[in-house]
Amino acid sequence: MNAIILSAIWGVVLMFCSVLIKNKGVYRHIAALGLLVILAGNIHETYHGSFFNIDTHEMLRFSRFGLFFNTILLAATLLYVLLSGRDVEKAGGYVAEYFTLIFFVLCGASILTSFNTLLMLFIGIEILSIPLYILTGSDKRNLRSNEAALKYFLMGAFSTGILLMGIALVYGGTGSFMLEVPRSAIMGGYKGVSFLEVTGLLFLLVAMSFKVSAAPFHFWTPDVYDGAPSVFTSFMATIVKAAAFAAFLKLFEARVGDTSAAVDWKLLLSIIIVSTLLIGNVTAVFQQSVKRMLAYSSIAQAGFMLFAVFSLNDVAKEGLLLYATAYSLATIGVFAVLIKMKDVTFEGFNGLARKNPVLAATTTICLLSLAGIPLTAGFFAKFSMLSAVIKTGTYTWLVVVAVLFAAVSAYYYFRVIQAMYFKEGDAQTEEVTGGFKVLLIAVAALVILFGVQPQALLNWFYF
**Identity of the residue, 190 or 460, whose beta carbon is nearer to another protein in the bound complex:** 190
Q: Which regions of 1-64 does DSSP assign to beta strands (E)? A: none
**Identity of the residue, 144 or 391, whose beta carbon is nearer to another protein in the bound complex:** 144
**Identity of the residue, 271 or 285, whose beta carbon is nearer to another protein in the bound complex:** 271
3-state percent helix, strand, coil for the chain, nearest multiple of 5? 80, 0, 20
Q: How far is the CB of 232 from another protein (least distance, A)?
A: 12
Q: Which residues of this chain interact with another protein, rule CB under 8 A?
A: 4, 8, 11-12, 15-16, 18-19, 54, 56-57, 59-60, 92-94, 97-98, 100-101, 104, 107-108, 111, 119-120, 123, 126-127, 130-131, 133-134, 137-138, 140, 149, 173, 186-188, 190, 192, 194-196, 198-199
**Identity of the residue, 155 or 196, whose beta carbon is nearer to another protein in the bound complex:** 196
Please spell the DSSP secondary structure of 336-372, one letter per residue.
HHHHHBS--BTGGGTTHHHH-HHHHHHHHHHHHHHHT
Q: How far is the CB of 246 from another protein (least distance, A)?
A: 17
DSSP 313: S
Q: How far apart are the first and last CA of the chain?
A: 20
**Identity of the residue, 194 or 234, whose beta carbon is nearer to another protein in the bound complex:** 194
Q: How far is the CB of 335 from another protein (least distance, A)?
A: 22
Q: How far is the CB of 57 from another protein (least distance, A)?
A: 5
**Identity of the residue, 12 or 400, whose beta carbon is nearer to another protein in the bound complex:** 12
Q: How many residues does the chain have?
A: 463
How far from chain centre, in Å, is Cα 387? 21
Question: Which one, of 405, 417, 432, 48, lies nearest residue 1 by Cα?
Answer: 48
Q: How far is the CB of 233 from another protein (least distance, A)?
A: 17
**Identity of the residue, 57 or 342, whose beta carbon is nearer to another protein in the bound complex:** 57
- 247 and 121 in contact (C-beta within 8 Å)? yes
- 270 and 398 in contact (C-beta within 8 Å)? yes
**Identity of the residue, 153 or 225, whose beta carbon is nearer to another protein in the bound complex:** 153
Q: How far is the CB of 142 from another protein (least distance, A)?
A: 13
Q: How far is the CB of 82 from another protein (least distance, A)?
A: 23
**Identity of the residue, 11 or 319, whose beta carbon is nearer to another protein in the bound complex:** 11
The upper half-sphere exposure of residue 52, i.e. CA atoms within 13 Å in the direction of its Cβ, equals 12
Q: How far is the CB of 223 from another protein (least distance, A)?
A: 17
Q: What's the CA gap between 272 and 248, in Å, rounded?
A: 14
**Identity of the residue, 70 or 100, whose beta carbon is nearer to another protein in the bound complex:** 100
Question: Which one, of 377, 378, 380, lies nearest residue 450 by Cα?
Answer: 377
**Identity of the residue, 51 or 422, whose beta carbon is nearer to another protein in the bound complex:** 51
Q: How far is the CB of 249 from another protein (least distance, A)?
A: 21
- The count of other CB atoms within 10 Å of the CB of residue 182 is 9
> Which residue type, as a one-letter code, is found at position 348?
G
Measure Cα distances from 216 to 108, 205, 228, 233, 305 in Å.
25, 12, 22, 21, 16
**DSSP-assigned beta bridge partners for residue 178:** 117
Q: How far is the CB of 264 from another protein (least distance, A)?
A: 16
Cβ-Cβ contacts under 8 Å for 378 (sequence gap 6 or more): 326, 327, 330, 368, 369, 370, 371, 372, 447, 451
Q: Angle at Cα 362 formed by Cα 39 and Cα 302, nearest 5°?
A: 65
**Identity of the residue, 22 or 48, whose beta carbon is nearer to another protein in the bound complex:** 22
Q: How far is the CB of 78 from another protein (least distance, A)?
A: 20
Q: How far is the CB of 462 from another protein (least distance, A)?
A: 29
Residue 203 has phi, psi (to 5 degrees) of -60, -40
Please spell the DSSP secondary structure of 185-238, one letter per residue.
GSGGG--S--HHHHHHHHHHHHHHHHHTT-TTS-THHHHHHHHS-HHHHHHIII
Q: What's the CA gap between 232 and 84, in Å, rounded?
A: 10
Cβ-Cβ contacts under 8 Å for 418 (sequence gap 6 or more): none
